[in-house]
Amino acid sequence: MIERDTGIGRDTLRVWEHRYGFPEPVRNEKGERVYPEIQLRRLQRIRRLLDRGIRPGKLLPLSEDALDGLEASLQPAGPEQLDETVREILELPAHQLSQWPE
């Protein structure tokens, strides 16, 4: 179930449990690992960041706030940022524009 929901193999999750202390599954009555919803969501988020080329050792120790910042830094510039960049370019003095690299 966890493999399907996250794309991360059970063996990998077990290595992470021992190496990084996350995830922290609970055990059901059969002794099987069960991952709380909050951990499932974090694992899905980590999977997306792994897909962007970030290594597990850099991701797993991060707090939720740090993951927020990392994800935000990886987002492409939105229309507001592009508008601001274009405005800044248009406000450059003409002599600076003539020096603009081609």
Q: Domain with 11 in it: what CATH number?
A: 1.10.1660.10
Euclidean distance between CA atoms 67 and 90, whole angstroms: 35
- Tell me the backbone φ, ψ of residue 27, rounded to 5 degrees: -110, 140
Residue 44 in any domain: the answer is yes
Q: What is the pLDDT of residue 4?
A: 93
Residue 87 in any domain: the answer is no
Beta-bridge mates of residue 26: 34
Is 17 within 8 Å of 24 (Cβ atoms)? yes
Q: What is the pLDDT of residue 96?
A: 56
Taking the complete model, does pTM exceed 0.85, yes or no? no
State yes or no: pLDDT of 101 exceeds 70: no
Q: With cut-offs at 50, 70 and 90, classify the pLDDT of residue 1.
A: confident
| Residues 9-28, mean pLDDT to the nearest whole number | 96
Domain that holds residue 8: 2-75
State yes or no: pLDDT of 33 exceeds 60: yes
Q: How many CB atoms lie within 10 A of CB 6?
A: 22
State yes or no: pLDDT of 85 exceeds 90: no
Q: What is the pLDDT of residue 95?
A: 61
DSSP string, 22-44: ----EE-TTS-EE--HHHHHHHH
Looking at the structure of the chain, the number of domains it has is 1
| Residues 40-57, mean pLDDT to the nearest whole number | 94
Q: Which residue has the higher pLDDT, 100 or 18?
A: 18
Residue 9 in any domain: the answer is yes
Beta strand ranges found along 1-102 (DSSP E): 26-27, 33-34
